[in-house]
Amino acid sequence: MNLLLFTPEERRPDGTVAVGDRRLQHLREVHGKKPGERVRAGELGGLMGDAEIVSLSENEALLRPSLHTSPPGKLPLILVVALPRPKMLRRVLRSAAEQGVAEIRLLHSYRVEKSYWQTPVLKEATIREYLLQGLQQSRDTILPRVSCERRFKPFVEDTLPGLTRGRRALLAHPGDHPPCPRGIAAPTVLVIGPEGGFIPYEVEKLQQAGCETVSLGPRILRVETAVTALVARLF
Amino acid sequence: MNLLLFTPEERRPDGTVAVGDRRLQHLREVHGKKPGERVRAGELGGLMGDAEIVSLSENEALLRPSLHTSPPGKLPLILVVALPRPKMLRRVLRSAAEQGVAEIRLLHSYRVEKSYWQTPVLKEATIREYLLQGLQQSRDTILPRVSCERRFKPFVEDTLPGLTRGRRALLAHPGDHPPCPRGIAAPTVLVIGPEGGFIPYEVEKLQQAGCETVSLGPRILRVETAVTALVARLF
């Protein structure tokens, strides 16, 4: 945890913040902080800076934040990724938040097991928890937007054209395609398939919707590795 | 598992290979393969291709390989990374192998907890297991070389100059440094610090040994995310 995040609702009338959960544990056990010391802190959706530890007990830390810095800019990226299995989903959410992805759309596709849509990881509070872990790691206060697209065809036909307006649309797909561009730093929609890849029908639909098909080379990467690698290559 | 790997020692005199471990389980349960079908296969250190499933029982699969393709080229990269905690080490080994890193040196540094050097993950057979997972994912047959550098100063003073001869040497370190170059595709030594970063003395020693200090931007990435992101950006 490189940044202690709190919500505006956690502010007391005098501006201080009391934390008693995992953040308290982290302050005590990992950072070994004592009253009077300072810790890097940020308000979710707002500024970053540090906070003075006013008091610290086994049950509660009282913090007085002093915030003055804007969070780092988000990458102008909408990541559309076929819903991975739950364990990998957790890591994708965390690392995409860590890297500064602005928006994540979890998409159904033929090779996504239907049971994946039942995972508790998709509960709003759980998604938020993994995103927060990413923000606390990379020092950011802005949660990426996350939504679920449970029907492939309506998404690609009706929603995707709106998303790609004014944005470059890339489909990362194994095979003999042009290499994924580097350092484009422009508004982008990046579409990544499931383990095993999109089926030919899906690739065709995505191409019809305006996606350029690009490759990351001859190696088949796990979805979580591919997400991190593609984001790092594009921005 | 996108490639079933076997060792030359597993070949029988008639060229067939019998597998009875996790690979058998994977063939049966994940791929649902039947006798007469084929599976992508490769010989560790050698060629790739496919294998006919001659017979398949609960205890054993007998395979007849037919190999004709070279594995993808390794990245000309020596990754020097401060030893991460065991859970992260496993992921770094797997994803570095997956991405095609040629060589990995695990380095001690001030912020590496001494206990990390006692982890069973560092046993040769365990390291090999994680590397194999990476190769089986990305379809490669060549294991990266992995070694441990348990003393920072002798490594940087005596070993590093030999490694960087004829190679670009980069130290990825948070801070206001030039951005990490993109797509250099040249022989490179990439040095990545521990959680919390190298201490100033270590940064100085690495710079004296010829490392250019580069940054990945304002975000502090977890070591495993940083490794994948930097490799993807450089190659």
Query: So what's the pLDDT on residue A55?
Result: 95
Query: So what's the pLDDT on residue A91?
Result: 97
pLDDT band at B31 (very low <50, low <70, confident <90, very high): confident
Query: So what's the pLDDT on residue A179?
Result: 96
Partner-chain contact A229 B225, CB within 8 Å: no
Nearest by CB: A220 against B138, B218, B230: B138
Q: Note whether A15 and A83 are same-domain residues.
A: no
Tokens of A211: 């996606």
Q: Note whether B126 and B18 are same-domain residues.
A: no
Q: Which residue of B has its CA nearest to A133?
A: B222
Q: Mean pLDDT throughout A19-38?
A: 91
pLDDT band at A30 (very low <50, low <70, confident <90, very high): confident
Enumerate the H helices of chain B as residue ranges.
Answer: 22-25, 86-99, 124-138, 152-154, 160-164, 200-208, 223-234
Q: Note whether B61 and B80 are same-domain residues.
A: no
Q: Note whether A114 and A11 are same-domain residues.
A: no
**Bridge partners, residue A4, by sequence:** A41
Q: Note whether B206 and B136 are same-domain residues.
A: yes
Mutate to test the interface with A, among B195, B223, B225, B233 (most CBs of A within 10 A): B225
- Chain B residues with a Cβ under 8 Å from any Cβ in chain A: 2, 72, 95, 98-100, 137-140, 182-183, 216-222, 225, 228-233
pLDDT greater than 90 at residue A1: no
High-pLDDT (> 70) share of chain B, %: 100
pLDDT greater than 90 at residue A185: no
Q: Mean pLDDT throughout B20-41?
A: 92
pLDDT greater than 90 at residue A31: no
Q: Note whether B102 and B207 are same-domain residues.
A: yes
pLDDT band at B164 (very low <50, low <70, confident <90, very high): very high
Q: Note whether A158 and A58 are same-domain residues.
A: no
Q: Note whether A205 and A98 are same-domain residues.
A: yes
Partner-chain contact A219 B95, CB within 8 Å: no
Q: Mean pLDDT throughout B50-66?
A: 96
pLDDT band at B121 (very low <50, low <70, confident <90, very high): very high
Q: Mean pLDDT throughout B113-124?
A: 96
pLDDT band at B25 (very low <50, low <70, confident <90, very high): very high
Radius of gyration from C-alpha coordinates of chain A: 20
State the total domains in chain B: 2
pLDDT band at A182 (very low <50, low <70, confident <90, very high): very high
> Which pairing describes strands A38-43 and A4-6: parallel, antiparallel, or unpaired?
parallel
Nearest by CB: B222 against A137, A222, A233: A137
Range of A8's domain? 4-69
Q: Note whether B96 and B45 are same-domain residues.
A: no
- Give one DSSP letter per residue of A100-167, joined into a string: TEEEEEEE--TTS-GGGGG-GGGSHHHHHHHHHHHHHHHT---PPEEEEE--HHHIIIIIHHHHHTTS
- Name the domain boundary from A69, A99, A125: A69
- Name the domain boundary from B69, B90, B109: B69
| Residue A95 host element (H or E) | helix A86-99
Q: Mean pLDDT throughout B146-174?
A: 97
pLDDT greater than 90 at residue B183: yes
Q: Note whether A42 and A86 are same-domain residues.
A: no
Chain B hits for A98, Cβ within 8 Å: 219, 221-222, 225
Q: Mean pLDDT throughout B8-28?
A: 94
Alpha-carbon distance values, A104 to A123, A145, A191, B114 (Å): 15, 6, 10, 39
Tokens of B106: 């695990």
Alpha-carbon gap, residue A93 to A104, rounded angstroms = 8
Query: So what's the pLDDT on residue B38?
Result: 96
Q: Note whether A91 and A135 are same-domain residues.
A: yes
Mutate to test the interface with A, among B228, B230, B231, B235 (most CBs of A within 10 A): B228
Q: Note whether B124 and B201 are same-domain residues.
A: yes
- Name the domain boundary from A44, A69, A94: A69
**Bridge partners, residue B49, by sequence:** B41, B67
Question: What's the CATH code of the domain at A111?
Answer: 3.40.1280.10
Mean pLDDT of chain A: 96
Question: What's the CATH code of the domain at A24?
Answer: 2.40.240.20
Chain B hits for A183, Cβ within 8 Å: 182
Q: Mean pLDDT throughout B126-142?
A: 97
Query: So what's the pLDDT on residue A71?
Result: 98
pLDDT band at B185 (very low <50, low <70, confident <90, very high): confident
Q: Which residue of B has its CA nearest to A74?
A: B219
pLDDT band at B197 (very low <50, low <70, confident <90, very high): very high
Model pLDDT for residues B61-110, shown as the tens digit of each residue? 999 999 999 999 999 999 999 999 999 999 999 999 999 999 999 999 99
Query: So what's the pLDDT on residue A75?
Result: 98
Chain A hits for B142, Cβ within 8 Å: none
Model pLDDT for residues A153-162, shown as the tens digit of each residue? 999 999 999 9
Q: How far is A229 from chain B (nearest CA, A)?
A: 5
Model pLDDT for residues A55-99, shown as the tens digit of each residue? 999 999 999 999 999 999 999 999 999 999 999 999 999 999 999
CA angle at residue A74 from A68 to A76, to 5 degrees?
150
